[in-house]
Structure 1
Amino acid sequence: MAQIITKITTQKRKGRFNIFINNQYAFAVSESTLIRFTLAKGQELSPAEIEQITQADEVAKAYQKTLNYLSYKLRTQKEINQFLNDFELSKSDREEIIDKLCELNLIDDLNYAKSYVRTQMRINKLGPQQISQKLKLQQIDPELITEALLEYPYELQLENGCHLAEKSARKYQKDAFFIRQNKIKVNLLKKGYSGDLINEIIAHLDLQPDEDAEQAALTFQADKLLRRYNRTHPDQVANKLKQALYKKGFSLSQIQTYLDEHLDEQF
């Protein structure tokens, strides 16, 4: 029996049409598919043509949903590939959609990378290495990452690093000076700042040992440890306290001064 379109009706969903063949509902298509194949009442279709039309409509639906997915924020090509994997499309159909979106500049990994760099440097104050690593995880081309990082001037890297270092310095003010500096450096490394830049940041921070602050930090740490050792035999407390405080970065002379001044009062 010949396959003839006997009726075309609109759906409640805007831009969707029902196709009836031989007075029976056959399939639905988008407006773009309807126009592409010039579907009209009285048109005869072969089974192969019907298959071609329905497959083309699946591609059209996937394309429209991808446009909606892109409307919320910038996306990488990797994200679009992953999104399209949820549709029953061939590899060539997925590539066709991506190529079309690239031609329209709706997928632009360089633009995405530049935007990402600007966001991370302004809001999270990440260093270049951390930003680069995150972009690599998004499968952004290394050359594009290098170009995008030009958005992050050295002066701003230094300013952001100093801001983070000052924040860490306040956070670790109850640590020994040596440990405090190391924690600041480790935190900057984790945030993606290079060793050379960290050295410059530390120099700008110009932290200096403060005898009173160091003594206050030692007293704070020692008091915490003494509470932990409250069930320890008094003869063992001094050695345990000395070892623990030394590991925390305090000098032996500072520790001994504390022991001489406080331990006899405790026991």
Structure 2
Amino acid sequence: MKISKVSTQKKNKQRYNIFIDKNGHDVFAFGVHEDLLIRHHLRKGLELTEEEVTEIQKQDAIYQYYTLTINYLSYRMRAKSEIADYLKGKEATPEAIETVIHKLEEEKLVDDLQFSQAYVRTKMNTSSKGPNKIKQELILKKIPEVYIEEAMAEYTVEKEVEKIVKALEKKLSSTSRKKSFQQQLMQLKQSLMQKGFTQGAIEIASQEVDLSVDDDEEMDALRYQGEKIWSKHARKHEGFQLKQKVMGSLYQKGFSMDLINQFLEEKEEEG
């Protein structure tokens, strides 16, 4: 086929439309970026084979995917797997994806190790996530294990303990407590585990936090829980059996026997 016309695209001055002659008419054949136009010396009168056109179109598609990815990278760093998924969404072929990622790696625009290190620093400094949670997120991004381990080294036990201490102090200083101190502490530890903090660091942090119990606050919480439990069991039980039911329930909720007995004495005086 012979090129009959070359024109600049209206919406993108760096792209050109290539036309071929068919029965005396200029018929659009394909579009190319300016770089490929120059590289392949595309001009009016040039003869192209079907194979040459196919190769030019393949190179142009890769060029467009590359340009899209550069824009995608302009917002933040990306893992290779994120770029691959992004390009799949743009219907890029596996070959095109591999070519684009290889080019980006050569240009130092994509680096899974640097991405991992930046990811760990950001999550460590701006989120409430522990190291196990962050590590799992990197695994889901298909980061090589050796890179993950190197990046996670920055999230030291000391930094982990520091974050846990702050979390414990903030939560345990709540003035509107309606649960026993022990129950609240246990739930806090479970929450920290779910956020990815290690059990070892949680125990170390617990040793650094003031875990003394304010008896007045504890008694207020016990009365709140005790009244609900008393009302529930009073429908079916009375006397010694009722006290045993209430005592067992409050003890399971982490209250001390001294405070439980004080509450039961108060209920007995009321009766």
2:69 corresponds to: 66
CA contact (8 A) 1:132 1:145 kept: yes
Please tell me whether residue 160 in structure 1 is matched to residue 163 in structure 2: yes
1:207 corresponds to: 211
Greater shift in the superposed pair: 151-160 or 199-208: 151-160
Change (3 A) 1:148 1:56: same
How far the C-alpha of 1:55 sits from its partner, in A, is 2.0
Of 80, 94, 99, the match for 1:96: 99
How far the C-alpha of 1:243 sits from its partner, in A, is 3.2
1:241 corresponds to: 246
Of 173, 176, 180, the match for 2:180: 176
How far the C-alpha of 1:20 sits from its partner, in A, is 0.7
Matches of 1:26 and 1:244 in 2, distance apart? 80
Please tell me whether residue 4 in structure 1 is matched to residue 2 in structure 2: yes
Please tell me whether residue 220 in structure 1 is matched to residue 224 in structure 2: yes
1:36 corresponds to: 39
Q: What letter matches 1:91 in structure 2?
A: P
Greater shift in the superposed pair: 56-65 or 211-220: 211-220
How far the C-alpha of 1:135 sits from its partner, in A, is 1.1
1:36-76 per-residue CA deviation (whole Å, 9 max, x = no partner) reads: 32211110011221122222211111111111111111111
Q: What letter matches 2:252 in structure 1?
A: K
Q: What letter matches 1:185 in structure 2?
A: K
1:21-41 per-residue CA deviation (whole Å, 9 max, x = no partner) reads: 012221111223222322111
Change (3 A) 1:192 1:233: same
Identity among equivalent positions (%) equals 36
2:85 corresponds to: 82
How far the C-alpha of 1:89 sits from its partner, in A, is 3.6
Matches of 1:4 and 1:226 in 2, distance apart? 94
Q: What letter matches 1:150 in structure 2?
A: A
Of 117, 121, 126, the match for 1:118: 121
1:196 corresponds to: 200
Matches of 1:173 and 1:205 in 2, distance apart? 18
- What is the TM-score when the length of structure 2 is the normalising length? 0.87
Q: Which runs of 5+ in 2 are unaligned?
A: none
Q: What letter matches 1:196 in structure 2?
A: G
- What is the TM-score when the length of structure 1 is the normalising length? 0.89
Q: Which runs of 5+ in 1 are unaligned?
A: none
Matches of 2:85 and 2:102 in 1, distance apart? 15
2:53 aligned counterpart, secondary structure: helix
1:147 aligned counterpart, secondary structure: helix
Q: What letter matches 2:93 in structure 1?
A: S
CA contact (8 A) 2:62 2:99 kept: no
Matches of 1:8 and 1:252 in 2, distance apart? 91
2:16 corresponds to: 17
CA contact (8 A) 1:32 1:60 kept: no
Greater shift in the superposed pair: 255-264 or 100-109: 255-264
Change (3 A) 1:34 1:255: same
Matches of 2:91 and 2:131 in 1, distance apart? 39
1:97-155 per-residue CA deviation (whole Å, 9 max, x = no partner) reads: 11001111211111111111111111114222222111111111121112112333443
The aligned length equals 263
